[in-house]
Structure 1
């Protein structure tokens, strides 16, 4: 017998890719459980499935940087509760990070894909379900987006939760109106401009040398430091909350179209975001 739960939850995170560099991503998570019926006539109570999986994914995957620990491009160093990493991309890009251990997920794989992450999660979750559950199958899929979207990573040092982690991200839709008419051209322009981008806050920038930017800040969870190529960064004069992102986009587009009314709906992952007018 099989029990299934579709679109149980969504996870927002970033990962390292040999070609794309630091990639912000959002996936829907679904699950199938194989097993015998228990004395209640169930494979597993839906309440247990939802709570167990959702809590585990929230704790171990969501708002983390996923690292393919078997990749030759990755070098890791542990020092107590601190992790340091160095990543050399195929194009010569160098990314380095120093952060608390809870800011990353160490995925036993050579590369981060929906399939490799699902397999890793399943192995970690084996002992979390009743003995009559013989197999757990997880699957991850990206949101179906009809229109423009971009992948971005960032960190919010003032956030009291996990958004303070310096390299987590999202895959997000963008919607732009000029004088009450959707502009697919502007949406696509920003989607291309912010493809696999790191949105950095100027006040967190420590140095720029040889084409590398160094960001550093202190937050509730600890000290965070990230170095990446300037070509992979877009600098903002504010924090990078979705509210500031929407306002920045609206104000920037207004400068380019001063005689038009501008409206921006900027998404942060799935089905949430901010609206700004200019």
Structure 2
């Protein structure tokens, strides 16, 4: 009976070893970077798209009643929403390519498949992905920086709302406090000719009571966090790709090639 069990035992151990080797072949850093990129781009695109829609409504309702006063901002919102659709589609495909390239170049995969073969094409492909990802990281750093502007503006607006709330409890009329104002023209969001351009007093108090204002603030924070997560994912991939490319160059210099 025992000799009959031996082949079965060998098969079990062979399956276990195969599973361990397969798990070892996973490029975990590249996989983490890809998931971060997907999650970050999803947060940024969804949050920014909805936040821009609410921004258009807030500006048109309270800060610029004439269409020509916020025509530039309205065009920017419309075209950037189309850019968001393109970003989502591009990063969905590019993330798959990054993950595939990570599986190809990771050292764990080289060990799994036995003897390693390095070619000039593989090194050139890895370098191309590294350069493209580096450029994308620079672009996303700019996006990350610019996404801070509406967060900063709405944070100041929230602080003004807090002041309005305190004054409404201590004074009888907010119109006596003309200094309690918010002016988006100071941030370059509207031209100086926009009417009324800034809101003060009771008008400011009414904006602070609107749930749409706080929803817009939360959406911009979501977009800002998504841009940061995407940038972090790209940096992680650059680290992993740089290491893999260094290994390719080292083995290529040793003459290990097809």
Shared fold by TM > 0.5? no
Measured against the shorter chain, the TM-score band is under 0.3
More helix by proportion, 1 or 2? 2
Higher relative CO (CA 8 A, sep ≥ 6), structure 1 or 2?
Answer: 2
Normalised TM-score (structure 2) = 0.24
Normalised TM-score (structure 1) = 0.23
In our comparison, the structure showing a higher alpha carbon Rg is: 2
More strand by proportion, 1 or 2? 1
